[in-house]
């Protein structure tokens, strides 16, 4: 049975009460729009209809606050490699003449803040479905994660807010358990700590898949198609998931029922069954059931195909008895797909699902027209025009542009560079993440050519990017990296976001890949706050500036607003996480980060500037001001091309981008992986301005720079190539076999430490 809701004569106060009591998360103007529609058709709505409208109009589903800005800066950066971008669940990009790769990148922040294990696990489950429903085989998972510091004082946490160590442990366990059980390698990501994540951690998940271009399936249905629900049973878990993700977090336990329950044991055969059916040409279109459940999946598939639908909810297989029609319709229970199938292929499709022991049921049909009609045990409980349901609100929110960076201030030069360097290496955002990486199976499927940890066995260091060989018959590879520095965005959102693109490109170039596409996961606070919208606007402007100048498109993405806790009354820092995908023509030519051989010369490619705003060094010294690193896409393109040419000519032994901690940390990370010492002299570095102090030279995080180890017999050729290409390069020293790391400016020694001592500081890590 469905309830009729008295809406047509409701006052404004009653409209708000209806929205609140039913958990619709619709504001007064939206409720008034709904009221006008039902007055125009001269009837009261059912609870099923109101719940469905609320799902479609949620911030999470329709991007009502972000769409105008995304259209202006992010959408439409087209490139020849794009096959299907932004419009579907995942982006589809040309890999070679026969194959495409598929990219999806989303957030699961609110669920993870409430129930970290389940929230993170279902994030992985959902992003894998996004890739599968395009017709692709998932080959890699990616997980940028953001938490408050693990030593955050318990006494500072209000009631209902979980401690970051509990969240961190649960999230990593959820990702590892789900990814490992479905046999997809988790092979790239990042972990970042900032105390403004105390009220709302950020859990972003990505997936890359590979497919034959002919197997591409769109999320659409055509009139006459059977609509098949395949996979897990439908329950009360995940109800109101998208609406609770479209508001500020309150008491966490209040939302526990909105967190879905993942089931990787069901996902594994479901994934194989879907891909087998698709390879046999039995599926006309498909969509995963994520946010909004059947409500959004049916509406979007039918709208895309220009048809309506007739659905019989009693045919949906349930986890529990007594579920109401609206609960079945909006439930976000996991491991489910909606398939459109021509009637003549239904029996063959069902036979394959039966073989894999996976539930599949015809729940209705696509029909001519634009109405969706739902029946529940013979009762018509829903009859709406799809055009109205998907005529979602769009807002031009007020925004305030506010950059809080300041001119670089003089501070006292450190008394001991040895201690500063060790402290930087041990700091949470730089220290080894091996304890996290080792929880994930990044070797499964045997296609991970460059691992997340690189170097001599037992001495490994962090790689800049992971490289996969997705096809058995080809040496063409896919490089993957994830990057952002929220400390930059906190000071200057435009240049912070631009720096995230620069770093993604540096990391891809460091392994020899050509940047090919981006995906973005844009995590922000309350969009009704003008300062938050100002941050969002500036970050999108920075991303668009870089990507359009580089000619590299955003092929997939996600916006996550309301990332803040009412208990702490503070939003997260602007966090535009970037997933970078690069193409390697031949994976056998890829470069790793670990130093290779003693007596090889070391170079800095690029110019070091006094840009330490948001840097790890300033954070260590308690300085919150400074200038965020700038970047020029034309300079970036020139340096990337020159460096790749040097790699192709076999001049480069190892390469590492310079980012957190600056030159000093980058060199140490290379040496740790290669178990080598070095003698570094910073007196001849390319600087702007000249005469920079030693600590700024060592710890500046200026963009578009790499440390390159060159084979000793290729030194002259390397310097000539860089000179001929107009790329600034500085010789800074040599690798050594004595295990000592010396950093000096001419005769003045700044650092003199055994590599083992530096490695111990770095490996102390963050622990789990």
Which residues are designated catalytic? 60, 108
CB 285 within 8 A of CB 217: yes
Q: How far apart are CA 552 and CA 179, in angstroms?
A: 29
Complete edge-to-edge strand list for the sheet that includes strand 371-376: 285-288, 336-341, 226-231, 360-367, 308-312, 371-376, 379-385
Contacts of 597 (CB under 8 A, 6+ apart): 653, 676, 711, 712, 735
Closest by alpha carbon to 523, among 107, 214, 24, 165? Answer: 107
Which three-class secondary structure state does DSSP give residue 242? helix
Closest by alpha carbon to 64, among 347, 542, 378, 390? Answer: 390
Tokens, residue 135: 């017709």
Contacts of 27 (CB under 8 A, 6+ apart): 19
| Beta strand pairing call for 371-376 and 226-231 | unpaired
Q: How far apart are CA 590 and CA 652, in angstroms?
A: 10
**What end-to-end distance do the CA atoms of the chain give, in Å?**
49
Q: How far apart are CA 231 and CA 234, in angstroms?
A: 9
Q: How far apart are CA 179 and CA 160, in angstroms?
A: 29
Query: What CA–CA distances, in Å, run from 88 to 70, 366, 556, 581?
Result: 15, 19, 8, 18
Q: Where does residue 80 rank: exposed (0-12), middle (13-18), buried (19+ CB within 10 A)?
A: exposed
Tokens, residue 341: 């199938």
Residues 419-452 as b or e (16 or more Cβ within 10 Å = b): ebbbbbbbbbbbbbbbebbebbbbebbebbbbbb
DSSP 509-535: HHTTPEEEEEEEEEE-S-TTSHHHHHH
745, β-bridge pairs:
748
> What count of other Cβ atoms lies within 10 Å of the Cβ of residue 643?
28
């Amino acid at each position: 049975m469905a309830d009729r809701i008295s809406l047509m004569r409701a006052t404004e106060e009653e409209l708000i009460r209806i929205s609140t009591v039913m958990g619709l998360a619709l504001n007064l103007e939206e409720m008034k729009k709904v009221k006008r529609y039902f007055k125009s058709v001269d009837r009261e709505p059912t609870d099923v209809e109101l719940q469905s409208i609320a799902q479609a109009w949620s911030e999470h589903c329709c991007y009502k606050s972000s769409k105008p800005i995304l259209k202006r800066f992010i959408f439409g950066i087209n490139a020849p490699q794009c096959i299907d971008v932004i419009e579907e669940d995942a982006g589809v990009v040309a890999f070679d003449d026969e194959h495409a790769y598929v990219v999806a990148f989303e957030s699961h922040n609110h669920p993870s803040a409430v129930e970290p294990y389940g929230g993170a696990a279902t994030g992985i489950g959902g992003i894998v479905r996004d890739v599968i429903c395009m017709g692709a085989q998932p080959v890699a998972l990616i997980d940028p994660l953001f938490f408050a510091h693990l030593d955050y004082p318990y006494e500072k946490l209000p009631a209902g807010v979980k401690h970051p160590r509990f969240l961190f442990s649960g999230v990593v366990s959820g990702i590892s358990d789900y990814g490992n059980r479905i046999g997809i390698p988790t092979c790239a990501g990042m972990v970042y700590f900032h105390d403004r994540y105390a009220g709302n951690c950020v859990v972003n998940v990505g997936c890359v898949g590979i497919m034959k271009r002919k197997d591409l399936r769109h999320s659409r249905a055509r009139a006459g198609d059977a609509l098949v629900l395949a996979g897990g049973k439908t329950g009360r878990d995940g109800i109101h998931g998208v609406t609770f993700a479209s508001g500020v977090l309150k008491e966490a336990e209040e939302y526990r029922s909105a967190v879905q329950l993942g089931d990787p044991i069901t996902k594994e055969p479901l994934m194989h069954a879907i891909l087998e059916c698709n390879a046999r040409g039995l599926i006309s279109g498909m969509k995963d059931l994520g946010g909004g459940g059947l409500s959004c999946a049916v509406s979007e598939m039918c709208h895309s195909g220009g048809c309506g639908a007739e659905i019989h909810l009693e045919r949906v297989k349930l986890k529990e008895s007594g579920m109401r029609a609206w609960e079945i319709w909006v439930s976000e229970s996991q491991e489910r797909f909606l398939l459109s199938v021509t009637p003549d292929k239904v029996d063959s499709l069902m036979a394959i699902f039966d073989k894999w022991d996976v539930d599949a049921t015809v729940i209705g049909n696509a029909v001519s027209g634009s109405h969706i009609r739902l029946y529940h045990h013979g009762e018509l409980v829903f009859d709406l025009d799809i055009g109205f349901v998907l005529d979602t609100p769009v807002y031009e929110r007020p925004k305030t542009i506010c950059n809080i960076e300041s001119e670089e201030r003089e501070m006292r030069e450190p008394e001991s560079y040895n201690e500063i360097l060790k402290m930087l290496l041990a700091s949470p955002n730089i220290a080894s993440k091996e304890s996290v990486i080792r929880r994930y199976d990044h070797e499964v499927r045997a296609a991970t050519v460059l691992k997340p940890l690189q170097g001599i066995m037992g001495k490994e260091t962090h790689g800049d990017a992971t490289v996969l060989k997705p096809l058995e018959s080809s040496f063409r590879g896919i490089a993957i990296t994830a990057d952002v520095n929220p400390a930059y965005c906190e000071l200057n959102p435009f240049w912070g976001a631009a720096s995230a693109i620069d770093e993604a490109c540096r990391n891809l170039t460091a392994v020899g890949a050509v940047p090919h596409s981006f995906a973005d996961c844009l995590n922000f606070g309350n969009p009704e706050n003008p300062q938050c919208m100002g941050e969002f606007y500036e970050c999108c402007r920075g991303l668009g500036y870089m990507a359009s100048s580089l000619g590299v498109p955003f092929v997939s993405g996600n916006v996550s607003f309301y990332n803040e806790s009412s208990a702490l009354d503070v939003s997260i820092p602007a966090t535009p996480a970037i997933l970078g995908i690069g193409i390697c023509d031949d994976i056998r030519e890829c470069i790793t980060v670990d130093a290779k051989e003693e007596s090889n010369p070391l170079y800095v490619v690029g110019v070091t500037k006094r840009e330490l705003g948001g840097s790890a060094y300033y954070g260590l010294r308690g300085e919150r001001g400074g200038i965020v690193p700038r970047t020029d896409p034309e300079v970036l393109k020139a340096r990337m091309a020159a460096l790749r040419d040097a790699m192709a000519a076999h001049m480069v032994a190892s390469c590492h981008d310079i980012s957190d901690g600056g030159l000093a940390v980058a060199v140490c990370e290379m040496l740790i992986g290669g178990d080598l010492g070095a003698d570094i002299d910073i007196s001849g570095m390319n600087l702007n301005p000249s005469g920079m102090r030693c600590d700024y030279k060592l710890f500046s995080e200026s963009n578009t720079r790499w440390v390159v180890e060159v084979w000793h017999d290729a030194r002259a050729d390397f310097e000539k190539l860089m000179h001929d290409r107009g790329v600034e390069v500085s010789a800074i020293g040599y690798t050594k076999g004595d295990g000592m790391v010396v950093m000096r400016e001419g005769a003045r020694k700044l650092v003199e430490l055994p590599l083992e001592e530096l490695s111990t500081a770095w490996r102390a890590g963050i622990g789990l």
